Amino acid sequence: MTEQTKTIWRRIGLIAILLPISAAWPYVLFGVAFLAWTIFEDLKTPAVPPSPPRLGWYNATAADDGWLDLFCARCESPAEASFLRAMVTAFDLKPYDGVLKCSVMTLDMQVEVDRYRFDFLANGRQVIEIDGATYHSAPEHVERDRIRDAYSVENGYLVLRIPASVVFNTPDEAIRRVRMALADTPAFTAPRVVRQQTAKKSLGDKLGSIAAFIDEWSARIDLMHDTMGPTNEMQTAFETERRQVETCVKCAEHDLDIQLMDPVTRKLFDEAMADLEDDGASSTSVDQAFAWPVLKKPHVSVSAEAERCIEARFESLMVLRDEWLRGLSQRCRTDGGFADALSRRLCNSGWSNSTDLL
């Protein structure tokens, strides 16, 4: 029996109840007439079969083509998507009611717990975070992650952080770290919240807590002070080098445009450039005036924590630098004319890394 048929029989039953009542209250007949009209309309209009539900990550099965793409679309970064694909391959995960399962793991993703959202949650307890260089290397980001991890541990979760560079460069290492972490949670386990009983604090204890809080914030300010100068220096060198390389790219593209001019236009262009030189315009190429910075980790005598923050920021900048240079190198390999023009510009500008790029 279809849902439409069930609805019609319900209305018929309601009419059978209202008819005796209409003997005492004639106005009830208006309701009876309305119900009869709706029954007539339903019988006149053929029932439309319900359309199948739209396929999504929440209802996908292993038999559906492209189910993994549906789950990857939920990821918030390419690194998370690459990690998810590696996990599916390594553990032979399959979709079940919006989660991924195998004999040793239940993997959920984008799990919201209170004010936080975990990238992945394995076996109900093991948090797995994929840390990109952009949002997890600055001192304030490191402190934010520390507070978040402390909250997770206090609420019974285990935390594993894997850098995005490990996921991209050595995915087998990322899987190895997951297997080691799962040794503590081999099957689905609810978080075990451990709350320590604390005695009521005296006035002296409260004052001591306030002093400790002030000391902690002073330490954070000192950390920012120790790391600000070196990190700004590295950031400036990174941005300057990238900006100057992009200028060389534009100059190389301009050189190609000149080479593609027809003879008449090329002659007019050369005459115009000669007139500029006669008028005293400088003929020095802009890229020849570049002073190229050197992106390197500064050697400073600061606290161990500050050195770790500086090291993390340097590694993140190197990852970003490798990414955009890789894209430029790919363009050079596919466009020989552009590669030659860019090579001349970079060599004339004195960039020492031009041979590595080309």
- Beta bridge partners of residue 112, listed in sequence order: 117
- In this predicted structure, which of 70-74, 79-83, 168-172, 300-304 has the lowest mean pLDDT? 300-304
Q: Is it the case that residue 82 has pLDDT exceeding 70?
A: yes
Give the pLDDT band of residue 71 (cuts 50, 70, 90): very high
Contact 91, 105 (CB under 8 A): yes
Q: How far apart are CA 8 and CA 39, in angstroms?
A: 6
Q: How far apart are CA 42 and CA 48, in angstroms?
A: 11
**Both structure tokens of 22:** 């209409």
**Both structure tokens of 113:** 């717990």
Dihedral (CA of 52, 56, 62, 67) sign? positive
Secondary structure (3-state) at 299 = coil
The stretch 111-121 carries a mean pLDDT of 92
The pLDDT score that the predictor gives to residue 206 is: 66
Pick from 122, 111, 128: which is nearest to 187 by CA? 122
Give the pLDDT band of residue 291 (cuts 50, 70, 90): confident
Q: Is it the case that residue 45 has pLDDT exceeding 50?
A: yes
The pLDDT score that the predictor gives to residue 108 is: 95
Domain 67-181, CATH class in plain words? alpha beta
Q: Which residues contact 333 (CB under 8 A, 6 or more apart)?
A: 339
Residue with tokens 């600000």: 228
Q: Is it the case that residue 117 has pLDDT exceeding 70?
A: yes
Domain residue ranges in the chain: 3-44, 67-181, 218-274+286-357
More confident residue, 190 or 93: 93
Contact 137, 313 (CB under 8 A): yes
| Other Cβ atoms within 10 Å of 96 Cβ, number | 13
| Other Cβ atoms within 10 Å of 48 Cβ, number | 7
Q: What is the mean pLDDT of the chain?
A: 82
The pLDDT score that the predictor gives to residue 35 is: 85
pTM over 0.75: no
Q: Give the pLDDT confidence of 214-264 residue by residue, as tens digits.
A: 777 777 787 788 888 888 888 888 899 888 889 989 988 888 888 888 887
In order, the DSSP letters of 47-63 are: PPPPPPPPP-TTT--TT
